[in-house]
C-alpha cells in the first residue's frame, strides 16, 4: 500500500484514477491544480505523484514537474525530487516519439495516455513504486 497524490483539474479523471488506485489498495489524495498540489505535497510527501499536463494552463503539469526535478529545480522543493512522477497526457497519443521520458525534455518517469487503460495505468504505478 502506498500514498499517491493525484494532481488533475478534472474531477472525473480524479475519480477514475482514485477508483483504480484504491482498488489496488493504495491511499489517494487529490489536488485540483498545481498550487493545491504543492501544498498537499509539502504537508505530507506521497510515494508517487500522478500529474496531469493541461490544467489552468496548457503546460501547467510540465512546469510543476520542472519545478520539482528540472535542470534548475526550486531549492525549497529539493527534498521532493526523489518522488516518482507519472504523467497523464492526451498529447502523448498523437506524439508517441517526442515525449519519451527524456531527462532533458521532461523530468517525469513515465507517461499514461488519457483516456487510460486501468491495467496499463496500474502496471506503471506498481513499476514506479517498486523502484
Partner 1 sequence: MVERSLGSYQPDATLPRDIASTSSRLILTRWAAGAVVVLATVLCSRVLGLPLPETPLVATGGVILLYNAVFVLLSHRAYSPQPDEYLRRIRRLVILQVGLDWISMAVFLHLTGGVTSPGIPLFLIHMLMVTILLPGPSSYVYVALGIGAVATLAGLEAAGLLTHYAVIPALPAGLYRDPIYAAAAVVFFGIAALATVTLAASIVTRLRERERQINGLFQTTRAVSSTLSLPDVLQSLAGGAAIALSSARASIRLLDETGERLTLVAAYGLSSAYKEKGPVEVSLNPLAQEALAGRPVLVRNTAADDRLQYPREVLDEGIQSLVVVPIMGRNRPLGILRVYSEQVNRFSAADAEFVMTIARQGAVAIENAMAHEALQRADQERAQFVRTVTHELRSPVGSAQSLLRVLLKQLTGELNDRQRDVIARVEARLNALMALINDLLALAASKTSGFQEKPGAVELEPALRVAVEVGIAEAAEKRIALRFEPLGDRLTVQATIDGLALVFGNLIGNAVKYTSEGGQVTVRLMRQKDTAVVTVADTGIGIPAEDMPRLWEEFFRAGNARKAGIIGTGLGLSIVRRLVESYGGRISVQSVERQGTTFTVTLPLSSANTEPDPD
- Sign (positive or negative) of CA dihedral 27, 5, 7, 105: negative
- Sign (positive or negative) of CA dihedral 28, 50, 15, 58: positive
Which residues are within 8 A (CB) of 26 and not within 5 positions of it... i.e. 6 or more apart? Answer: 1, 2, 3, 4, 125
Residue from 71, 104, 119, 130 touching partner 1 (CB under 8 A): that is 119
User: What is the per-residue binding string for partner 1 in 45-84, x denoting contact by CB under 8 A?
Assistant: ---------x---x--------------------------
Q: Are 54 and 44 in contact (CB under 8 A)?
A: no
Contacting range for partner 1; rule: CB under 8 A; set: 42-50, 65-73, 88-96, 101-109: 88-96
Q: Is 124 in the site for partner 1 (CB under 8 A)?
A: no
Residue from 95, 102, 105, 126 touching partner 1 (CB under 8 A): that is 95
Q: How far is the CB of 11 from partner 1 (least distance, A)?
A: 8
Cβ-based nearer residue to partner 1, 38 or 112: 112
Contacting range for partner 1; rule: CB under 8 A; set: 9-17, 30-38, 43-51, 72-80: 9-17
- Residue 102 Cα to chain centre, angstroms: 15
Amino acid at each position: 500500500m502506498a500514498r499517491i497524490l493525484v494532481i488533475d483539474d478534472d474531477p472525473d479523471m480524479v475519480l477514475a484514477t482514485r477508483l483504480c488506485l484504491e482498488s489496488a489498495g493504495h491511499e489517494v489524495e487529490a489536488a485540483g491544480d498545481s498550487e493545491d498540489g504543492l501544498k498537499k505535497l509539502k504537508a505530507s510527501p506521497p510515494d508517487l505523484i500522478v500529474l496531469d499536463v493541461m490544467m489552468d494552463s496548457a503546460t501547467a503539469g510540465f512546469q510543476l514537474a520542472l519545478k520539482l526535478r528540472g535542470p534548475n529545480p526550486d531549492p525549497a522543493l529539493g527534498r521532493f525530487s526523489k518522488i516518482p512522477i507519472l504523467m497523464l497526457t492526451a498529447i502523448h497519443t498523437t506524439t508517441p516519439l517526442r515525449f519519451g521520458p527524456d531527462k532533458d525534455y521532461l523530468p517525469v518517469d513515465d507517461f499514461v495516455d488519457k483516456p487510460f487503460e486501468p491495467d496499463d495505468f496500474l502496471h506503471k504505478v506498481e513499476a514506479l513504486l517498486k523502484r
